[in-house]
């Protein structure tokens, strides 16, 4: 079984077992959980369609499950959210069910019981939970928030296809190291990650209309800042 990974603010963290359903890789189903802005759904759809030769379809929205609600922090537990999504009768032809919510989600990380995250995915699996809450928080520029939402959706789906984090600065699979700022400097898959996708049967076109601007040199956090974040986690 593929391991689940959690994304702390954007950086993927702890591994736990996944229970994705076996299904033919024909569609990505986007499942809104709770109230999700239409523009955010369109942004995710455009980003996935630009990079992957796969059909995306929108499922009817569902309510946030009460079983996942963690009252002390007013957040939803990502593992229980995925359990709820997996329990639903979903289309059998879905390669991935991308459950999108605007509500904050969390997991347990080490000694910290409730740790806010952005995504909870399965390496090689078929279910993914993705919250746009932390992506948008504190962002004055709506276009920057939209770009982050699209980039992270591509990043998450690539994890479902088997890709892990990449050390190449600017690659869409770069480890965000705990801050959504990292996605302000990423742009496209690096040649190595493209080769891994092609080996897995998912060839990304050599030329494609990437739905966001190429970041200027020096955009996003410095490597020194990310190194500092890594020390804080230990």
pLDDT, tens digit only, all 234 positions of the chain: 455 555 444 333 333 334 444 434 578 999 999 999 999 999 999 999 999 988 999 999 999 999 999 999 999 999 999 999 988 877 878 888 999 999 999 998 888 888 888 888 878 888 888 999 988 888 889 999 999 999 999 999 999 899 999 999 999 999 887 788 889 999 999 999 999 999 988 888 888 899 999 998 877 778 787 777 655 544
Task: Give the ranges where 93-209 is alpha helix by DSSP (H).
Answer: 133-136, 142-160, 191-199
**CA triple 105-110-111, angle to 5 deg:** 95
The residue ranges of every structural domain in the chain are 3-233
Rounded to whole angstroms, the Cα distance separating 121 from 80 reads: 13
pTM of the entire predicted model: 0.83
Which class is 3-233 in CATH?
alpha beta
Instruction: Judge contact between 212 and 147, C-beta under 8 A.
Output: yes
Q: Is 214 exposed, middle or buried (0-12, 13-18, 19+ CB in 10 A)?
A: exposed
103-to-26, 27, 175, 225 alpha-carbon distances in Å: 28, 25, 23, 28
Instruction: Judge contact between 27 and 57, C-beta under 8 A.
Output: yes
């Amino acid at each position: 079984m593929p391991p689940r990974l959690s994304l702390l603010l954007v950086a993927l963290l702890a591994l736990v077992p996944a229970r994705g359903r076996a299904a033919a890789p024909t569609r990505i189903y986007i499942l809104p959980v709770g109230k999700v802005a239409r523009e955010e759904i369109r942004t995710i759809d455009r980003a996935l369609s630009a990079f992957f030769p796969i059909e995306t379809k929108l499922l009817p929205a569902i309510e946030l499950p009460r079983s996942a609600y963690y009252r002390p922090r007013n957040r939803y537990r990502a593992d229980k959210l995925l359990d709820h999504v997996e329990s639903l009768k979903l289309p059998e032809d879905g390669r991935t069910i991308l459950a999108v919510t605007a509500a904050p989600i969390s997991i347990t990380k080490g000694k910290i019981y409730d740790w806010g995250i952005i995504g909870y995915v399965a390496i090689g699996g078929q279910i993914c939970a993705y919250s746009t809450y932390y992506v948008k928080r504190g962002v004055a520029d709506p276009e920057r928030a939209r770009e982050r939402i699209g980039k992270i959706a591509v990043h998450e789906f690539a994890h479902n296809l088997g890709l892990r984090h990449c050390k190449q600065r600017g690659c869409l699979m770069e480890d965000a190291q705990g801050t959504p700022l990292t996605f302000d400097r990423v742009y496209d898959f690096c040649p190595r990650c493209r080769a891994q996708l092609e080996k897995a049967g998912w060839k990304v076109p050599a030329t494609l209309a990437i739905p966001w601007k190429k970041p200027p040199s020096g955009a996003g956090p410095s490597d020194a800042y990310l190194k500092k974040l890594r020390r804080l986690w230990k």
